[in-house]
């Protein structure tokens, strides 16, 4: 079935801590696809999402969900079972990318630089107070939930007195906390659209920490696109973004986040398989610099779902 005659369901909301951001993404995508003349319905995802998809006769799903349940292969698996093509990465790539430490282990196996780190499980932390850093790490470190986005539950720990509280904060959101070496430098992110690296964006956050407030409170953070880095660093982060995308088996749109040291060495922090798509999000910003406006970007992401379905031999 061609895109023009498909009934498109924009899946948004869900139950994760990133629900409100997902709703913003979903509404923006819905508006873009309507402007393009598509038949679009929005679906706020809950336990009855399968029934809603059938009732609405959805032919093609645009996933605008963030966090567990939406980025981790869960909704992707349901859509696979229902035979509904969907945007973004498949079940396995989504599940791998959702867990930050598993992502880093896989990328390191492929020779992609990542910060040294490990997982601390809540059961272990609760059984005995962990007062010392794991072997091979030194202050400062970053402590974060293994499977959350939007910098939820993330702490930069600079001294031993902050350590236990940081672990507890991360464990409020996930039974596994990732503890990794803090990489000094600046934040850079690279969007990837169906195997094409977009211009890099540098993120200049207040106090140097790109936390939830810095991401979503208007005017708190400065975004520089293209990133004011050397030509060599710009080439390197784009190459690494494509390598990370391929190593995880990503498809459609994704975003790869980096820390770049003062000497220009980039480290991959994580890979987002459902990057934010509000009209001020990083992926649309980079796409605009590449000459792709928001509505065109949304439609290209949608087209990638049909292309993947065709490759897999599905009929829509």
Catalytic residue among 89, 150, 281, 304: 150
Catalytic residue among 59, 176, 202, 270: 270
71: annotated active-site residue: no
Q: How far apart are CA 115 and CA 20, in angstroms?
A: 30
18: annotated active-site residue: yes
Q: Are strands 117-121 and 60-63 parallel, antiparallel or unpaired?
A: unpaired
Catalytic residue among 259, 276, 294, 299: 276
295: annotated active-site residue: no
Catalytic residue among 169, 255, 259, 308: 255
Summarize the chain as % helix, strand, coil (round to 5).
40, 20, 40
Q: How far apart are CA 168 and CA 62, in angstroms?
A: 35
Residues for the chain: how many in total? 316
SS3 35: helix
Catalytic residue among 6, 9, 14, 18: 18
Catalytic residue among 191, 257, 267, 281: 257
Catalytic residue among 94, 272, 281, 304: 272
Q: Are 128 and 101 in contact (CB under 8 A)?
A: no
255: annotated active-site residue: yes
Order the strands of the 7-12 sheet from edge to edge: 39-44, 7-12, 60-63
- Give 233: exposed, middle or buried? Use CB within 10 Å, 0-12, 13-18, 19+: buried
| Residue 136 DSSP class | T
Catalytic residue among 216, 239, 249, 303: 216
276: annotated active-site residue: yes
What are the structure tokens assigned to 16, written together?
A: 């994760």
257: annotated active-site residue: yes
216: annotated active-site residue: yes
Q: Among all residues, which ones are annotated catalytic?
A: 18, 150, 216, 255, 257, 270, 272, 276
């Amino acid at each position: 079935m061609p895109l023009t005659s498909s009934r498109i369901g924009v899946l948004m909301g869900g139950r994760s801590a990133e629900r409100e951001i997902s709703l913003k993404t979903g509404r923006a995508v819905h508006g873009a696809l309507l402007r393009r003349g598509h038949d679009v319905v929005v679906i706020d995802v809950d336990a009855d999402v399968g029934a809603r998809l059938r009732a609405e006769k959805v032919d093609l799903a645009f996933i605008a969900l963030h966090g567990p349940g939406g980025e981790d292969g869960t909704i992707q698996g349901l859509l696979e079972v229902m035979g509904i093509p969907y945007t973004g990465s498949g079940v396995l790539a989504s599940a791998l990318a959702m867990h930050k430490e598993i992502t880093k282990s896989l990328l390191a196996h492929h020779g992609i630089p990542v910060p040294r780190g490990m997982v601390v499980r809540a059961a272990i932390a609760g059984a005995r107070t962990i007062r010392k850093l794991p072997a091979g790490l030194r202050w400062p470190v970053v402590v974060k939930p293994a499977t959350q986005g939007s910098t939820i539950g993330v702490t930069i720990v600079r001294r031993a007195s902050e350590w236990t509280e940081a672990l507890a904060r991360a464990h409020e959101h996930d039974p596994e906390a990732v503890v990794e070496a803090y990489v000094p430098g600046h934040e850079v992110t690279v969007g990837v659209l169906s195997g094409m690296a977009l211009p890099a964006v540098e993120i200049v956050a207040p106090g140097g920490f790109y936390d939830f407030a810095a991401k979503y409170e208007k005017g708190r953070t400065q975004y520089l696109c293209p990133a004011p880095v050397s030509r060599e660093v710009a080439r390197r982060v784009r190459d690494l973004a494509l390598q990370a995308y391929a190593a995880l088996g990503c498809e459609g749109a994704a975003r790869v986040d980096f820390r770049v040291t003062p000497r220009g060495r980039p480290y991959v922090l994580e890979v987002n398989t459902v990057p934010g798509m509000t009209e001020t999000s990083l992926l649309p910003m980079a796409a605009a610099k590449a000459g792709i406006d928001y509505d065109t970007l949304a439609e290209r992401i949608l087209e990638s779902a049909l292309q993947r379905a065709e490759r897999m031999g599905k009929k829509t």
